[in-house]
A and B are shown apart, each in its own frame.
Chain A
Amino acid sequence: DAGVIQSPRHEVTEMGQEVTLRCKPISGHDYLFWYRQTMMRGLELLIYFNNNVPIDDSGMPEDRFSAKMPNASFSTLKIQPSEPRDSAVYFCASSFAGRETYGYTFGSGTRLTVV
Chain B
Amino acid sequence: KQEVTQIPAALSVPEGENLVLNCSFTDSAIYNLQWFRQDPGKGLTSLLLIQSSQREQTSGRLNASLDKSSGRSTLYIAASQPGDSATYLCAVRNNQAGTALIFGKGTTLSVSS
Contacts and interface: CB of A to CB of B under 8 A. Distances in A.
Interface of A: 30-31, 33, 35, 42-43, 45, 48, 50, 56, 91, 93, 95, 97, 100-109, 111
Contacts of B106: 42
B100 A100 contact: no
Interface in B33-61: 34, 36, 41-46, 49, 51
B44 A100 contact: no
Interface of B is mostly: strand
Which are the 4 A-B pairs with shortest beta-carbon distances?
A42-B105, A43-B103, A106-B44, A108-B43
Interface residues of B, number: 23
29 contacts: A33-B100, A33-B101, A42-B105, A42-B106, A43-B89, A43-B103, A45-B100, A50-B98, A56-B100, A91-B43, A93-B44, A95-B98, A97-B97, A97-B98, A100-B31, A101-B51, A103-B32, A103-B46, A103-B49, A104-B46, A104-B101, A105-B46, A106-B36, A106-B44, A106-B45, A106-B46, A107-B43, A109-B42, A111-B41
